Chains A and B, each alone.
Chain A
Amino acid sequence: GAVVSQHPSRVICKSGTSVKIECRSLDFQATTMFWYRQFPKQSLMLMATSNEGSKATYEQGVEKDKFLINHASLTLSTLTVTSAHPEDSSFYICSGAWGTDTQYFGPGTRLTVL
């Protein structure tokens, strides 16, 4: 299957700071990238969908000003958690797809906000 990487794999930050997570498709071009969040012992929840060169579409209840998504190229999307607070601590996972083809997921980023 296709490979998606995420960086960093884990990050610890202080409350009030911003954190950027990168998602890269390594061996395919992703016209669409998706960002998910997973709390302990729960399933993945879709946060937003982004198409290359367009603004992201956010799911209901996800604050677009808090979770900034940029999909500037066909191989890179970034998620910035602005003014992070302890309740933002979670496992963030991205995925990429060419059009409506199969989605391939990254390994995830563990965010801990102190």
Chain B
Amino acid sequence: DAKTTQPPSMDCAEGRAANLPCNHSTISGNEYVYWYRQIHSQGPQYIIHGLKNNETNEMASLIITEDRKSSTLILPHATLRDTAVYYCIVRGSQGNLIFGKGTKLSVKP
């Protein structure tokens, strides 16, 4: 299963866009990139996923590079409630998710 690399922490000003990077250079052609977030003492919340094309939903946008070796999650207007640990995961061949350490995003007023 492909591994992912994320910065351990990031800060973002409230109301600004939060851009969270993720490297997944060993991703294979049929593996999806998933993003989840975990607010303290809660279960992970699904955000978005993609294979090749950029994706957008009501929560975020996902930009995947053409070579698929990296991606960026964009929260267009971060709020204090977006403070959480964000996990970028390449879904394994068995359908399971292997969580890394993620990026701790702190949104500041």
Measured in the bound complex, the distance between the Cα atoms of B83 and A25 in whole Å is 27
B94 pairs with A102, CB closer than 8 A: no
Interface residues in A5-62 by Cβ distance below 8 A to B read 6, 32, 34, 36, 43-46, 49
- Docked Cα-Cα span, A32 to B95, in Å, equals 9
Stretch from B21-29, B68-76, B96-104 that touches the partner = B96-104
The interface residues of chain B lying within 8 Å CB-to-CB of A93 are 43-44
How many A residues have CB within 8 A of the partner chain?
25
In the complex, which of the residues B38, B45, B96, B102 contacts A46, with contact meaning CB atoms closer than 8 Å?
B96
**Contact A108–B97 (Cβ < 8 Å):** no
B96 touches A105 (CB 8 A): no
Query: For chain A, what secondary structure do more than half of its interface residues adopt (helix, strand, loop), or is it mixed?
Result: strand
Contact B98 A46 (CB under 8 A): yes
B43 partner residues in chain A, CB cutoff 8 A = 4, 6, 93, 95, 105-108
Q: Which residues in window 72-109 of B have CB below 8 A to A?
A: 87, 91, 94-102
Chain B minimum-CB-distance residue to A43: B99
A32 to B91, CA, bound (A): 14
Of all A-B residue pairs in the complex, the 7 with the closest CB atoms, nearest first, are: A105-B43, A100-B95, A44-B99, A43-B99, A105-B44, A108-B43, A107-B43
